[in-house]
Amino acid sequence: MIKVTFIEYNGTVREVEVAEGTSMMEAAVGNLVPGIDGDCGGACACATCHLFVEPEWLDRLAPAEDMERSMLELAEGGGPGSRLGCQIKLSAALDGIVARTPLGQH
């Protein structure tokens, strides 16, 4: 199991454990973490799983592909660490990853 920590916009911390291969979006939606919606079901097509990966974890992720980058352009309040949760597949190397979630998606 992979441990994932989500920090809500108001500081609430939630730790969840999910199976390897799960995406960050699925880890959030499957554990009712607020602020992550995942409307398109993981097709990188809605930008409603926008989150902010903490700096120390960023360089362990594969870089965003074109599709993710263009969808991130649409996400409100983008900034350092902005990623789409559906595009981050959790592996053993990411055990313990920490990400912040926004107030809401749109």
Partner 1 sequence: MSATSTASAVPRAPQGAAYAIPLEDIDVSNPELYRNNTMGAYFERLRREDPVHYCAKSLFGPYWSVTKYKDIMQVETLPEIYSSDSRRGGVTILDTNSAVQLPMFIQMDPPQHDEHRKAVSPIVAPENLLRLESIIRRRTGEALDSLPVSEEFNWVEKVSINLTTQMLATLFDFPWEDRSKLTFWSDATLELPGEGLVDSEEHRMQIMGECAAYMTRLWNERVNAKPGADLISMMAHDDRTRNMSPEEYLGNVLLLIVGGNDTTRSSMTGGLLALHGNPGQYEKLCANPTLIASMIPEIVRWQTPLSHMRRTATQDTVLGGKNIRKGDKVVMWYVSGNRDEEAIENPNAFIIDRARPRQHLSFGFGIHRCVGNRLAEMQLRVLWEEVLQRWPKPGQLKVIGEPVRVLSPFIKGYESMRVRIDA
Binder of partner 1 out of 21, 41, 55, 96 (CB under 8 A): 41
DSSP state of 95: T
**In this structure, which amino acid lies at residue 64?**
A
Q: Could you tell me how far CA 72 lies from the centroid of its own chain? A: 12
From 18-26, 53-61, 83-91, 96-104, span contacting partner 1 (CB under 8 A): 96-104
CB of 32 vs partner 1, minimal distance in Å: 12
5, 96 contact by CB (below 8 A)? yes
Token pair listed for 13: 């911390």
CB of 52 to partner 1, least distance (A): 14
Beta bridge partners of 100: 7, 52
Amino acid at 17: E
67 binds partner 1 (CB under 8 A): yes
Does the footprint of partner 1 cover residue 102 (CB under 8 A)?
Answer: yes
Point out which span in 15-23, 51-59, 64-72, 84-92 binds partner 1 (CB under 8 A). Answer: 64-72
DSSP tally for the chain: helices H, then strands E: 3, 5
Q: Which stretch binds partner 1 (CB under 8 A): 15-23, 33-41, 56-64, 88-96?
A: 33-41
